[in-house]
Structure 1
Amino acid sequence: MSWIDNNNILLSQKSLDYLWEKQRIISENIANNDTPGYKAKTISFEDQLRSNLEQFSNRPDASKNDIRKAILGSNMKIDVSNEESNRLDGNNVNLDVEEVELNRAQLQYQYQIFQINDQFSRIRAAIGK
């Protein structure tokens, strides 16, 4: 593992992949707001990542490679919502919630990009440009 390919960059990369997919899923939900019978989809990643990392949190012998495996073993999960619909057509998309979640995902994505740029700026400064 090199100084460029470290766990921070790997975690940022996995987070960006997740946030990109989350924006896609939310956009699909918004686009199908008027589709009769459509059930909103959700995507999760953080819970599996947290669970994978907790395996090593209390182990003093955990290595960077163990953490790397935990990050790589964390995958996204897409589910179809089983929430009841208040609409007669059976569609359960809540447009207000979807728009808030889309904005949140966009801000998180921008923050992750900022974090990666900051890491590379620090590396560039350390090697003297």
Structure 2
Amino acid sequence: MDWLNTNSMLLTEKTLDNLWQRQRLTLQNIANAETPGYKAKYATFEEELNLSLSKFDKKRASKAKEIGSEIQNSKLWIHQSSEESMRLDGNNVQVDVENLELARAQIQYEYALRQATEELNRLRTVITGS
């Protein structure tokens, strides 16, 4: 049995990767807050993953490999904001909103990292018995 490639660990790994990309995208928006004509970008991941996993019937036992495959195949989608700009230069980045998104993504990242650490600690306890 591969104890490190469980669906829980795959999901945590995918979540960490996508949250890291979301933070990079938010920092890119903040860096371009004064660039004329720049449109803010945002990323979605959870929606696609939920849609992919919703096809599994909760009443029947799905194979772990099928679910793991859906987790691995889910992708981060980057979108350009269609929000109208209040500025004359056409830039629609709102630094306050971006800072809040950065803080939210950072808290989610720390939580997901804590989940991975706790799962690895549980495995270590099982293996070593202490």
- Answer yes or no: same fold by TM over 0.5: yes
Tell me the SS of whatever aligns to 1:2.
coil
Return the offset for 1:59.
5.4
Return the offset for 1:87.
0.6
Q: Count the aligned residue pairs.
A: 129
Tell me the SS of whatever aligns to 1:56.
coil
Return the offset for 1:73.
1.7
Tell me the SS of whatever aligns to 2:43.
strand
Following superposition of structure 1 onto structure 2, how do residues 81-120 of structure 1 map, counting pairs within 5 Å?
81-120=81-120
TM-score by length of 1: 0.95
Conserved? CA contact 1:52–1:73, under 8 Å: no
Tell me the SS of whatever aligns to 1:83.
coil
Tell me the SS of whatever aligns to 1:93.
coil
Conserved? CA contact 1:30–1:95, under 8 Å: yes
Pairing 1:22–2:22 present: yes
Instruction: Return 5+ residue gaps in structure 1 as ranges.
Output: none
Q: Give CA deviations for 1:71-97 in whole Å, capped at 9, x if unaligned.
A: 012100001111110111100001111
TM-score by length of 2: 0.94
RMSD across aligned positions (CA): 1.2
